[in-house]
Amino acid sequence: MMKLQIKLKKSLIGRKPNQVKTAHALGLKKINQIVVIEPNDALMGMVKTIGHLIEVQEVE
């Protein structure tokens, strides 16, 4: 199955509260932290919300 590797590239300081909560819900709290998730509709919506703060790659 395809998985997504998500890396937090920019700081959460000064961001809107919903963006900070979304990043924390994905498991991202520190810059350069990486999480690997299996995509579904809910998670893809979260990725879209903070797309300007993260870097996304496909992994197997």
Spatial CA neighbour of 54 closest among 8, 22, 18, 20? 8
Delineate the domains of the chain, giving CATH numbers in brackets: 3-59 (3.30.1390.20)
6 with 39: CB under 8 angstroms? Answer: no
Q: Specify the pLDDT at position 1.
A: 81
**pLDDT tens, residue by residue, 2-58:** 999 999 999 999 999 999 999 999 999 999 999 999 999 999 999 999 999 999 999
What's the whole-model pTM score? 0.91
